[in-house]
Structure 1
Amino acid sequence: MIPILAALTLVVAAQAPAPTSSAKPLTVLLAPTDVTRGTPRYLVGVAQEHVADQLKARGLEVIRVEDVTRTLPKKQRAAMMRCKRTQPSCIASLGVAAKTDVVMVTGVVPYLNGFKAGVRVYTAKDGAPLVEHSVPEVKKDQVMDALTQSLDVVVPTTLRVLRPEPVAPPTPPVVQTPQVTPGVKQPVTPVTPGIEPPTQMDLSDTARDAPKVETPGRRKWAWVPAAGGVVLAGVGTVFLVQSRSKFSDLEDKEFPTLAEADAARDSGKRSQTLGVVGIGVGAAAVAAGALMYFLPTKQTSVQPSVTLTPQGGGLSLAGTWQ
């Protein structure tokens, strides 16, 4: 039954009529050009016929103004034919009477040693100018070519504004469904006895045996305590040398007053204390840097900080490692 239904569906789809485009052709009211002194009347008539043929060849629907004014009263027809083609009210009255999309006016006027030929397009609803193009200083035998050149410019622009192309919807992804024939067994992937399928494998051993990558964060900061330790040890040595100098002064030098001797003694004690502390802290910092660099670890997060005060300085390390 399934093959028969599929065949019937294909036959019905083949006999169904193809969908037609919902976009209506653009309608153009071809209005007569303004009467200009110096332009032969026969040239104006030939230009109108040439523009009408070109518009039809491009797929546009052409309506002549004579077909519209023929049904109007005589007084209204005379007023419409005498109105100036450059006035929006005149263009709008022509467009409303013809019920078209745009109004096109052909222009052939004297220009220098020849003519200027072109076309102007207005929206029929309100008479607003839409697009225009003209070719100046052409000979009489070049007027038709100039009008064709102007239509090559104004017609695509008019279509883009009034008949924009619809945006194609995104193409849905094609999902291929497996074909299953009733009564036919589907092939099964053979499984070797004693070997578990890939979906049931125990990955714990694999994860346990995976090589461990050591992060370089701790070693990257190992130089900070080492360098700080060297600096502190150097400063401590300087203080010890100063305390030794004060001690020598107390033994060899005679002070005028007892207060000066006490000040020298206190200064020596302070220098000795700072020297011992500096060397001790510096040695500890160097040792910490060495441990940070040589001991193995997997993860580390070390944040060093240095504190300086008028009475001395300090180095601290904050972090965790395994």
Structure 2
Amino acid sequence: MLIPFLAALTLVVAQAPAPASSAKPVTVLLAPTDAARGTPRYLIGIAQEHVAEQLKARGLEVIRVEDVTRTLTKKQRTAMMRCKRTQPACIASLGAAAKTDVVMVTEVLPYLNGYKAGVRVYTAQDGAPLTEHSVPEVKKDQVMDALTRSLDEVVPITMRVLRPEPVAPPPVTPPVAQVTPQVTPGEKQPLPGPDLTPGVQPPTDLGLSDTPKVETPGRRKWAWVPAAGGVVLAGVGTVFYVQSRGKLSDLNNNEFPTLAEAEKVRDSGKRSQTIGVVGIGVGAAAIAAGALMYFLPVKQTNVQPSVTLTPQGGGLSFAGTWQ
């Protein structure tokens, strides 16, 4: 009966401590996007310079792709510039040639009535995605601000992964000095214990403790109801949230023939995201309610479950009081 509830409570996993950070600055190979696809070349150049200056201001060491390709042969340079920036093999080859920590790709692409501006960060060792951020549908004069906002998101994440802060050692508690009592020969020493009148028992021995006795509550048998319902709601919310991420991926990667179709996909993704967030939140609250019903000590309880059926669906509810 309590298996779903206990399984839901074990979903939180503690994050392992990160290794000690290094004083060496993070090196970034700044690579251009795959293709302009309608974006003016001068805008791409300005965006590259803006990102480079922002990275330097944040303490990162920037290496431009032209500085790397200048030392290669013509055949190697052509192959490197024609490889697709979203493929791990291409990113790894760029990172190996530049000997940097990460490879950052700047994107300024046409998007609906404006542009989508952002950056993508990959690890240079294997070309695996590390983090990305973009701002869709911005005007031409808003592209630089959008790139700055994207860097505000991706740079802290990159620094935490590559240069984590060292974990301070726990404080050392000094040992407690042992005090030896002084005993005078011939004197009777008092025995340790509470100062009680002879013949009077302590209150705990007479059952007069201030802690109330907890009767066996009947509400524990209903604790699985909100817990199981919370697990179901959280699962449904997760499904809708994953669907919303899929809609977002479609908007970012696909080109739609009309603006109406793109807006339809966007609205559907927003609905799925709203349902997902609400489902996960309500599910978590229901799981917490089940935990309180099961673990909190109470004297008396009166829980009444009820089932409601309507033409549009049904529901399971419970009501009760305890002291």
TM-score (norm. length: structure 2): 0.51
Residue matched to 2:90: 90
Cα distance in 1, alignment partners of residues 206 and 59 from structure 2 = 76
The answer to whether the 8 A contact 2:69-2:77 is kept is: yes
* Structure (1/2) with the larger helix percentage: 1
Distance 1:220 1:40 in 2: 89
Equivalent position of 2:63 in the other structure = 63
The residue aligned with 1:79 is: 79
- Secondary structure at the residue paired with 2:119? strand
Which residue identity is paired with 1:108?
A: V
Partner of 2:51: 51
Further displaced range: 74-83 or 201-210: 201-210
2:115 corresponds to which residue?
115
Which digits, 9 at most, give the CA deviation of each residue in 1:164-208, with x for residues without a partner?
Answer: 111012244589xxxxxxxxxxxxxxxxxxxxxx83446626459
Whole-Å separation in 2 of the counterparts to 1:66 and 1:55: 17
Q: Which aligned pairs between 1:89-238 and structure 2 lie closer than 5 A?
A: 89-172=89-172, 199-201=182-184, 204=188, 206-207=190-191, 211-215=197-201
Structure 1 residues 148-175: Cα deviation after superposition (integer angstroms, max 9, x where no partner): 0000100111111111111012244589
Q: Give the superposed CA RMSD.
A: 2.8
Q: Distance in 1 between matches of 2:190 and 2:30?
A: 83
Question: Structure 2 vs 1, CA of residues 23 and 203 (structure 1 numbering), >3 Å: closer, same or farther?
Answer: farther
Per-residue deviation, residues 125-168 of structure 1 (Å, max 9, x unmatched) = 11111110000000000000000000010011111111111101
Partner SS, residue 199 of structure 1: coil
**Compared CA separation, residues 57 and 214, structure 1 to 2 (3 A):** same
How far, CA to CA, are the matches of 1:205 and 1:91 in structure 2?
81
Aligned to 1:271: none
User: What residue number does 1:230 align with?
Assistant: none
Distance 1:70 1:200, change over 3 A: same
Q: Distance in 1 between matches of 2:73 and 2:87?
A: 22
- Flag structure 1 segments of 5+ consecutive residues without an equivalent: 1-20, 176-197, 222-322
Superposed displacement of residue 74, structure 1: 0.9
| Superposition pairs of residues 279-298 of structure 1, within 5 angstroms | none
Q: Within 1, Cα distance between the matches of 2:196 and 2:79? A: 96
| Cα 1:203–1:80 shift into 2, 3 Å | farther
| Larger Rg belongs to | 1
The SS at the match of 1:136 is: strand
- The aligned residue for residue 234 of structure 1 is none
**1:220, distance to aligned residue in structure 2 (A):** 7.0
TM-aligned CA distance change 1:33 to 1:215, over 3 Å: same
Percentage of identical aligned residues: 76
Q: 1:203 to 1:169 in 2, by over 3 A?
A: farther
Structure 1 partner of 2:262: none
Deviations 1:238-280 (A, max 9, x none): xxxxxxxxxxxxxxxxxxxxxxxxxxxxxxxxxxxxxxxxxxx
- Once the two structures are TM-superposed, the CA of residue 113 in structure 1 deviates from its matched residue by 0.7
Deviating beyond 2 angstroms after TM superposition, the runs of 4 or more aligned structure 1 residues are: 170-175, 198-203, 205-217
Q: Partners in 2 of 1:59 and 1:124 — Cα distance?
A: 19
Output the CA distance in 1 between the equivalents of 2:46 and 2:146: 13
**Shift in alpha-carbon separation, 1:215–1:117, aligned structure 2, 3 A:** same
Would the alpha carbon gap of residues 128 and 204 (structure 1) be closer, same or farther in structure 2, given more than 3 Å must change? same
Count of matched residue pairs: 178
Of structures 1 and 2, the one scoring higher in RCO (CA 8 A, sep 6+) is 2
Letter in 2 for 1:215: Q
Q: Distance in 2 between matches of 1:150 and 1:210?
A: 71
| 1:52 match: secondary structure | helix
Counterparts in 2 of 1:206 and 1:93: CA distance versus 1, 3 Å: closer
